[in-house]
Structure 1
Amino acid sequence: MLTWLSGFLMNPALAAGALGVASPILIHFLSRRRFRRVRWAAMEFLLDALKKNRRRVRMEQLILLALRCLAVLLIALMVARPFLSRGSLASLIGAAPRSERIIILDDSFSMAARTGAGQTTFQRAVDSTHRLVELLAAESSSDAVSIWLTSGTTRPLVAVPRLDGEAARRIHDALENAKPSHRTAQFDIAFDAIDQTLRTAATQANASLYVISDFQRVDWASPDPAHTPTPAAAALARLRAPSRNLDVVLIDVSSATPANLALVELRAMQPQVVSGVPARFEAVLANYSSEVVSGLELSLSLADQVIPPVHIGRLAAGEVRREPLEITFPAEGSSILTGQLAGVAAARDPLPLDDRRATAVDVQTAVNVLLVDGEPSGDPFRDEVYLLRTALRPAGRAASGNDLTVVSEADLDGMDLSSFHVVVLANVARLNPAGRNQLELFVRNGGGLLIAAGKQLDLDWYNESLYRGGNGPLPLALGEQIEALAVGGPLFPFEWDATHPALRAFVDPLAGALRQVQFDVFLTLREAEPPPTTATMRSDSAPSEDRARPRVLIRLGDEARSPLLVERPFGRGKCVMLTSSLDQDWNNWASSFSYVPMMLELVQHIARSPGALLQTIVGLPLICPVDPARFSDSAIVRGPDYPVTAEWPLRARTSESGALFEFDQTDKVGAYEILLMTQTGLIRPRRGCVNPDTRESNLAPATRAQLEAGLPEVPFTYVRDMDSMIAGSEALRTEMWWPILLIAVVVLMTEQSLAWWFGTRG
């Protein structure tokens, strides 16, 4: 009832004062005189006169009573402050056109950011939604209202056919129970779902769309000068088709000075992590604010094991810092490394969800390396792989993490390579067709191959079988054997790609040691086109097909700048060609202290990756490939709230590579665990994690100018302050209290005049 009255009265609760209209009636009845009948002959003539005037007196009393009741009713109505608006007037005469009022409430995780008043942005958005619904009810309570969320749902949070009292309660309860999700804002999904709903509606009514959000730039501002629309902008343009009468109102509830700290990345910097051996990781921290923050730390943990925190210190305004980490995992198996921003600055961070990040790690017992010795010898210093074997497993207390197997080229035939991470061909003359196919499949499936030159290489066979015009794993075609004396003397490394993961450590003093390595003999390579300079090469390039462009890592100092070390991705693996020998027949590299770190870094870089890690971002599925020969097709998933929340049963589905489990209930950030069952009945846990999408971490809102540039085909009304919107709506109302006051005064004066006149007539 109050909701309906709010469409006509500014103070609908005060309309209860209209009940005071009963007071004159009560007074009238209570004030009637009670007579005691006494028979008196002299009064008979007066009684006859009174009977003749009784009807007139009663009519006069009823007129006065009606005027007094009307006066009370008018005063109560005046206090309730009635008004007339376009919507309320149309409702009164029954001519109000029905409209669809669609409200989109942003519930992405950025809306959980605390503002200066201690209130979150989402709470401000909910308050604005409450006030907007009240305003819509006041304008036209016959309109249908639906509220949608941006967390990827294709159904409204609540929908009501009209704004009566019951509908208002439903909307209030739904908003009070709503909370910001861990997802990003998916406006495009919400807009497309609304578009489909309007298309399938029985009647095409007028519609108004209200978007209540913090309007982050990543969602709305065009990323390029050509103003290419974002997915949200493109979907909104589709929704507001020229044939559809849709008014768009953007209500911005963002903070005036948004600020946020975020741990945007935590990742391993090497393919294989070996138990007991320090592994390189990198944490990326960002300060999305206009102020310098200090006193920042990075807390790390492995499951229940806490690692000493890393002191970060200061982060400049807008700075994104890459912090190198070295982590040693105590045991093999599936594990999770978790990072958490800590310290004084983190305690003041308004958005804590993205201060924490995890990465899944499959810890191996060792990197399995197969060394194929092309020139075995009883003399260790003449053996082709002895020096490499010593470099990959140096003496000392510190473990290298490499497990070496040495075979001859004849032993390679028919060997199962699936258990190895790296294969090294050291001065191997040639392979038979079966061995070549097996080796090529190994690299294509993700393995690493290192080919080292030597005097025994059959150059024609390598070009025909392993290069094959660029269709094989060999990075470049082999040329002729060159002696350094023939080109002016001994050669030394001249330049190398310091951005490459295997060469990042080669700064002084290692850089000086590498420059002093002398190369007496090498093989030329037939470069198809002038290679790019090392400065223009990117270390993060990831070709998607076998014919990826080779990357020269080290060049010699001859006039032609001949390649010494070349890498090329092939399938999911990598192949590296060393144009000189691994022993000291063609160079003295093994006597330089740069040899051991170079070989260790090369093997670690090209080693087969453990496969798909069990990690994803919120809203995307966790995928766990399994070997159907080892594991059954059923598993159990435990979420971050286990055991508060129940386990999920899971069934495997077939894929091209075997079988996989796919879990899509990833709505919460945290650690997940998939319990796999082997064919023998043993349980093998796989630990994974779900992280927030850090594109949401930069809270900077799009300005009105950026919104206009990003929505060139969508006219909209921009509202920064709900108070101004409500005030503007109230300005369109015409209040009626002053005419009612004049009428009440006239009624009271009329009542007084008539009462005097009736009294004087007797």
Structure 2
Amino acid sequence: MWTVAQFVAPTAPAMLWAGVAAMSIPIAIHMLSRLRHRPQPWGAMRFLLEAYRRHRARLRIEQLLLLAVRCLILGVLGLSISGPALRGCGARPQWAGSGRLICLVIDDSLSTRALDLEGRSRFERLRRAGQQMVDQLGPDDLVGVWRSAWPVRAPGAGTPALDDPHLPWIAPTRDHVQVREMLARIEPRYSRADTLSALTSVRDVVADHGLQPDRVYVVLLSDWARDAIDLDQPLSAELATFGSTVQLAALTPTPSSDNLQVTGARPRRGVVLAETDGRAIVPMTLNLRRYGADLPAGASQVIVTAHGGVEVLGDPQRRQVTWTAGQATASLGVDVVAPLSDVWSTGSDRSAISLHVHVPGAGHGDVIAADNDRWSVIEVRRQLRVMLVDRFATGAAEDDQAVPPRQWVAMALAPGDVEGPRAVEDDRTVVIETEAAALGAAATEVDAAIVLRPDLVGDVGWRALRELLEAGGLVWLFVPHTGAPALWAPALRGHLGVDWQIGMEVETADESGWALSVGPTAPPVPSPLELLAADWRDLLRPVRVRRRLGVAPGAPGPGSTEVWIATEDERPLLLASQVEGGRLMLFAGAATIEWTNLPTKPLWVPLLHESIRSAAGGAQVLKEGHLRCGDQPVLGSRWRGVESLRLGDVTVSLAAEGGDRVSARPLHAPGVYRAVPESGPILAVNTEAGAGDTGALDEGELSQWFAGAKRWRWLDRDDPASLLAAPVEIVALGWPLLWAVMALVLVESLLARWFSHAQVTSRRSWRQRWLARFRRAA
């Protein structure tokens, strides 16, 4: 392919302009020489004029030619001094750099959905740059494509076909046409960027090919939003070494823009009990965040809608958030009222509903529409079933108290007569009394089990409690009111999988008892009890503890224990830990006034109710209702029998893994996924909070971060494909032009001599002319 030479701008343009200006000197002299003089006729002039008229045309051509040469001498002299050069002279093939490996890492995270003033997304710019690079490749070049939105699938996870619509990556191939078509098909995802994982995947592929460093190009096509990389974490040693063995290049950051994201829409309970009038009242906390440099004052409308299947339940709830200048975050509470007449299935006492939060776009202050929606899932029940595990044998010596622990608990859960029937219930709570020694499989059929006598529970009972936790239920243990040594502690740790430290002997306080911690070092309000947050400290203050068992949480880690309540000496009183899909709690005292006055204080009833409602199956519901785009969830026993998930036209199959169900691929799109068949549960998938940050990383700081890779450069924003073009030689023209000036001077001298028409009157030799001059000098 022939290329057209390009003139490179001179390094000293002033000298060029000086030469151009000097060209006017010969022209001025020429014009001055043509000024008319007053003629003075004389006799012999008649013959000269006649000769001049015959040769006038030739003489004018000679004068103009001599003038042109003199102007050219001055112009070329100025050009030679200015430092000119030529780029790309000659011919070269289009694939002069063939045999290379090109790794394109394209950012398809949520931030690349941001639109500019012309309505084009950032991803369009990245896609266009990638296509230009593919067009620049030679027939022997390999090109691979990685998508850096989370999750980044490693090459070892399988090589997808080029027509795979979900296409996490493309193995290096010479089929450039299909790669270009794939780039034209893919759309940005809804998750955050994971650039470092993409680079790690690229490094593994490059190592397998074993090419020379100058034949491997790794091109990062990203808008470099703030979530792309963490500049506070330096480039790892492995990636820094990799970056020094390939040619790394990146697009410059896209300028920042303003955006609004719904970052949270969380029900305060995972399970809601239906009201007696057939409605469900769902308390929710909504969180909004604005991104940008100069945040103006304004207002945003928030619309919350409840859905039962595809039906809208009741009227949408509308709220308005008023923003002050510079305010970035806002939070508000909403009580969503949902009529349930069309929700209940025949013979069912529970149903799942979804909640949709939408914020209409705010124009230039909201450049991403996809993060203006958020979904949540809750379970609505007619009743909760609570098992009360105690010793109910009549005439037992340890049960001779005026009000035994089981009665304090039963009265708080379902006020009524607890002396006669073994099942006590009100409209929404069923309390089932069970002998501790006979505890068995029936524990898996309730929502919560309150164990007042763990010392009487056998191995079968402990296994049943474990199954209840795996089903997403609540197990709440109290210390036996007998005060006997805690010989049951090893069974608790062994069967339920916690490493709590539990003392053997009961501790007794003085007459005033231990107060509960309410100061600055007190544990924060537990998130399941956030409805009590406004009065939390006031509810704790009147409580006193006279006897307790020494307990302490285990080592931090996944599912680590939280201290919900502590005494004033900072000793834990109430522990809670996530075990499997459920919640395990331990109160370090007995539910009787001989141990603590808690059953007689205002905290007792809401503590029991909120703990049970937030944990009785609700923990798993909340987890399934708050998945991030890109998650590949492991679903619990509630999903047994479900074959696939459906969101609009998208269907994702589920595979069995032990007793759980696992989605066959990540759930990339946000929304409410429904079970197939449709009688199953539902789950919600949302954009990750912070993924909508459209602020840009600083180019200087990004350059310092990349400096650890040694061999890297910024791509030309207007022509990113120039990175892959074959090297073009640049030829300096200074010295050749100076030689041309000398040649022009010689030509000018010869022309001037020739055009003068001088005649040689003497034919003497040079020796004769030299002797004559010598004699005259003597």
TM-score normalised per structure 2: 0.64
Q: 1:286 aligns with which of 289, 293, 305?
A: 289
**Quick check: 1:702 aligned with 2:697?**
yes
Q: Give the SS at the match of 2:709.
A: coil
Residue type of the alignment partner of 1:613: E
Check 1:408–1:637 CA distance in 2 against 1; reply closer, same or farther (3 A cut).
closer
- The Cα of 1:414 is off from its aligned counterpart by 3.5
Distance 2:174 2:679 in 1: 46
- The Cα of 1:418 is off from its aligned counterpart by 0.7
Q: 2:433 aligns with which of 406, 423, 435?
A: 406
Other-structure match for 2:674 = 673
- The Cα of 1:697 is off from its aligned counterpart by 1.7
Partners of 1:425 and 1:450 within 8 A in 2:
yes
Distance 1:432 1:178 in 2: 58
Other-structure match for 1:302 = 306
- The Cα of 1:362 is off from its aligned counterpart by 4.0
**Quick check: 1:635 aligned with 2:643?**
yes
Residue type of the alignment partner of 2:693: N
In the TM superposition, what are the counterparts of 1:482-501 in structure 2 within 5 Å? 482=508, 487-489=510-512, 492-495=515-518, 496-501=522-527
Question: Where do 5+ consecutive residues of structure 2 fail to align?
Answer: 8-83, 153-167, 344-349, 417-425, 741-778
Residue type of the alignment partner of 1:638: R
Other-structure match for 2:447 = 421
Residue deviations 1:489-520, cap 9 Å, x none? 3554343533323554556656435423455x
Other-structure match for 1:57 = none
Residue type of the alignment partner of 1:413: L
Residue deviations 1:91-148, cap 9 Å, x none? 17998776556554433332121124443222333455566678x58xxx78848473
Other-structure match for 1:718 = 714
Other-structure match for 1:621 = 632
In the TM superposition, what are the counterparts of 1:423-438 in structure 2 within 5 Å? 423-426=449-452, 430-438=456-464
Other-structure match for 1:211 = 220
Residue deviations 1:24-80, cap 9 Å, x none? xxxxxxxxxxxxxxxxxxxxxxxxxxxxxxxxxxxxxxxxxxxxxxxxxxxxxxxxx
Distance 1:435 1:525 in 2: 22
Q: 2:616 aligns with which of 597, 607, 627?
A: 607
Question: Where do 5+ consecutive residues of structure 1 fail to align?
Answer: 12-82, 162-166, 533-540, 677-682, 743-762
**Quick check: 1:689 aligned with 2:698?**
no
In the TM superposition, what are the counterparts of 1:261-660 in structure 2 within 5 Å? 261-276=260-275, 278-290=281-293, 291-303=295-307, 304-305=312-313, 306-314=315-323, 317=326, 319-327=328-336, 330=340, 331=343, 332-342=350-360, 345=362, 348-374=365-391, 382-393=403-414, 401-410=428-437, 412-426=438-452, 430-439=456-465, 442-443=468-469, 447-453=473-479, 455-463=481-489, 465-466=491-492, 476-480=502-506, 482=508, 487-489=510-512, 492-495=515-518, 496-501=522-527, 504-505=530-531, 511-517=537-543, 522-526=546-550, 543-544=557-558, 551=563, 553-555=565-567, 564-567=573-576, 573-608=582-617, 609-610=619-620, 613=624, 616-626=627-637, 631=641, 635-640=643-648, 642=649, 650=653, 652-653=655-656, 655-656=657-658, 658-660=659-661
- The Cα of 1:369 is off from its aligned counterpart by 1.1
Partners of 2:99 and 2:142 within 8 A in 1:
no
Residue deviations 1:578-598, cap 9 Å, x none? 345434455544443333222
- The Cα of 1:353 is off from its aligned counterpart by 1.2
- The Cα of 1:350 is off from its aligned counterpart by 0.3
Residue type of the alignment partner of 2:147: T
Other-structure match for 2:775 = none
Distance 1:258 1:660 in 2: 41
- The Cα of 1:249 is off from its aligned counterpart by 2.6
Distance 1:468 1:345 in 2: 55
User: RMSD across aligned C-alpha pairs, in angstroms?
Assistant: 4.9
Check 1:96–1:572 CA distance in 2 against 1; reply closer, same or farther (3 A cut).
closer
Partners of 1:428 and 1:457 within 8 A in 2:
no
- The Cα of 1:428 is off from its aligned counterpart by 6.9
- The Cα of 1:675 is off from its aligned counterpart by 0.9
- The Cα of 1:637 is off from its aligned counterpart by 3.9
Residue deviations 1:592-618, cap 9 Å, x none? 333322222233355343466276433
Distance 2:238 2:321 in 1: 41
Distance 1:202 1:463 in 2: 59
Check 1:610–1:84 CA distance in 2 against 1; reply closer, same or farther (3 A cut).
same
Partners of 1:269 and 1:280 within 8 A in 2:
yes
Partners of 2:291 and 2:694 within 8 A in 1:
yes
**Quick check: 1:150 aligned with 2:144?**
no
Other-structure match for 1:8 = 4
Residue deviations 1:363-420, cap 9 Å, x none? 444332111244688999735433422322369xxx985332123435x433521122
Larger radius of gyration: 2
Partners of 2:566 and 2:573 within 8 A in 1:
yes
In the TM superposition, what are the counterparts of 1:26-105 in structure 2 within 5 Å? 89=90, 91=92, 103-105=104-106
- The Cα of 1:470 is off from its aligned counterpart by 11
- The Cα of 1:349 is off from its aligned counterpart by 0.7
- The Cα of 1:351 is off from its aligned counterpart by 0.9
Residue type of the alignment partner of 1:248: L
Distance 2:407 2:97 in 1: 92
Other-structure match for 2:162 = none
Distance 1:500 1:367 in 2: 22
Residue deviations 1:193-251, cap 9 Å, x none? 65566566697673444433212333234334xx254xxx965x465453xxx433322
Distance 1:501 1:228 in 2: 36
- The Cα of 1:357 is off from its aligned counterpart by 2.0
**How high is the sequence identity, in percent, across the aligned residues?**
14
Partners of 1:427 and 1:457 within 8 A in 2:
no
Distance 2:455 2:133 in 1: 80
Partners of 1:430 and 1:457 within 8 A in 2:
no
Q: Give the SS at the match of 2:228.
A: helix
Residue type of the alignment partner of 1:148: V
Distance 2:574 2:613 in 1: 16
Residue deviations 1:651-680, cap 9 Å, x none? 643x33x2525231634333322214xxxx
Distance 1:109 1:668 in 2: 11
Partners of 1:102 and 1:210 within 8 A in 2:
yes
- The Cα of 1:735 is off from its aligned counterpart by 12
Other-structure match for 2:31 = none
TM-score normalised per structure 1: 0.65
Residue deviations 1:416-444, cap 9 Å, x none? 21122321233676334543454456457
Check 1:707–1:576 CA distance in 2 against 1; reply closer, same or farther (3 A cut).
same
Residue type of the alignment partner of 2:687: P
Partners of 2:547 and 2:595 within 8 A in 1:
no
Distance 1:424 1:96 in 2: 74
- The Cα of 1:88 is off from its aligned counterpart by 6.3
**Quick check: 1:222 aligned with 2:231?**
yes
- The Cα of 1:319 is off from its aligned counterpart by 2.9
Residue type of the alignment partner of 2:286: A
Partners of 2:385 and 2:447 within 8 A in 1:
yes
Distance 1:275 1:228 in 2: 53
Q: Give the SS at the match of 2:374.
A: strand
Residue deviations 1:302-350, cap 9 Å, x none? 22335302332226647344444444553432332222223x6378410
Distance 2:503 2:432 in 1: 28
Q: Give the SS at the match of 1:707.
A: helix
Residue type of the alignment partner of 1:341: V
Residue type of the alignment partner of 1:420: V
Check 1:376–1:324 CA distance in 2 against 1; reply closer, same or farther (3 A cut).
farther
Partners of 1:493 and 1:517 within 8 A in 2:
yes
Residue deviations 1:625-648, cap 9 Å, x none? 4579x73xx7344333x3xx6x56
Question: How many residues in Structure 1 have an aligned counterpart in Structure 2?
Answer: 602
Q: Give the SS at the match of 1:351.
A: coil
Residue type of the alignment partner of 2:550: R
Partners of 1:474 and 1:568 within 8 A in 2:
no
Partners of 1:264 and 1:285 within 8 A in 2:
yes
